[in-house]
């Protein structure tokens, strides 16, 4: 099965550099235009099914790219809950001891009042398995998700560190999924 992982389009939070996990931002005008440009360029493959995070930015992206498909929502594919860091920028947090500890741990230490790294990764893998099960009768599927979700999944599924490889909004990866493992991985463009 070929699965295209697509990061949602840009939001105001992305433009401002905010940590937006559970914040349910829509796409900004620029985000909509960029997705439309990518669609016109034909970068997205034809698929038989679209799976999406429940958050508005992913659903909007799904509808712009694949208007012929009603996305199937998988709640476990939503972004991490950034807790006390939610909706804040690096500049706003740079002197916060909890934030400094989190950055120094490469994002693996607990986020105050947020989701732990391990719980997030486990949830993402569970969501991926749900999405694969939903998609199993399709040779080509698209999962419209978040940057953090994508990094957690690829790291867990391949054993390689993808936390330095956040795709730009609207882009992502194409994986060949066979016998419950990643057989091949390439960037979308």
* DSSP secondary structure string for all residues of 13-44: HHHHTB--SS--PPBPHHHHHHHHHHHHHT-S
pLDDT at 160: 85
pLDDT at 161: 81
| Residue 1 in this model has a pLDDT that exceeds 80 | yes
What is the distance between the alpha carbons of residues 102 and 71, in angstroms, rounded to a whole number? Answer: 34
- The predicted-structure confidence for 135-187, as pLDDT tens digits, reads as follows 999 899 999 999 999 999 999 999 888 777 789 999 999 999 999 999 999 99
Domains in the chain: ranges and CATH: 2-82+116-187 (3.40.50.1240)
Burial tier of 62 (Cβ tally within 10 Å: 0-12, 13-18, 19+): buried
- The predicted-structure confidence for 13-54, as pLDDT tens digits, reads as follows 999 999 999 999 999 999 999 999 999 999 999 999 999 999
What is the distance between the alpha carbons of residues 166 and 82, in angstroms, rounded to a whole number? Answer: 17
* DSSP secondary structure string for all residues of 1-15: -EEEEEEPPPBHHHH
């Amino acid at each position: 099965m070929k699965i295209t992982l697509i990061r949602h389009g840009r939001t105001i939070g992305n433009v401002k550099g905010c940590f937006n996990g559970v914040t349910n931002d829509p796409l900004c005008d620029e985000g909509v235009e960029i997705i439309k440009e990518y669609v016109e360029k034909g970068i997205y493959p034809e698929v038989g099914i679209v799976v999406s995070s429940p958050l508005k930015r992913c659903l909007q992206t799904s509808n712009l790219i694949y208007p012929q498909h009603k996305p199937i929502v998988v709640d476990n594919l939503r972004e991490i809950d950034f807790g006390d860091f939610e909706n804040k920028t690096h500049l706003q947090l740079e002197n916060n001891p909890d934030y400094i500890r989190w950055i120094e741990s490469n994002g693996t230490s607990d986020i105050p009042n947020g989701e732990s790294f391990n719980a997030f990764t486990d949830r993402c893998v569970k969501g991926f398995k749900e999405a694969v099960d939903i998609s199993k009768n399709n040779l080509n599927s698209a999962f419209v998700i978040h940057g953090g979700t994508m990094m957690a999944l690829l790291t867990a599924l391949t054993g390689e560190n993808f936390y330095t490889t956040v795709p730009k909004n609207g882009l992502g990866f194409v994986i060949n999924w066979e016998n419950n493992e990643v057989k091949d991985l390439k960037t979308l463009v």
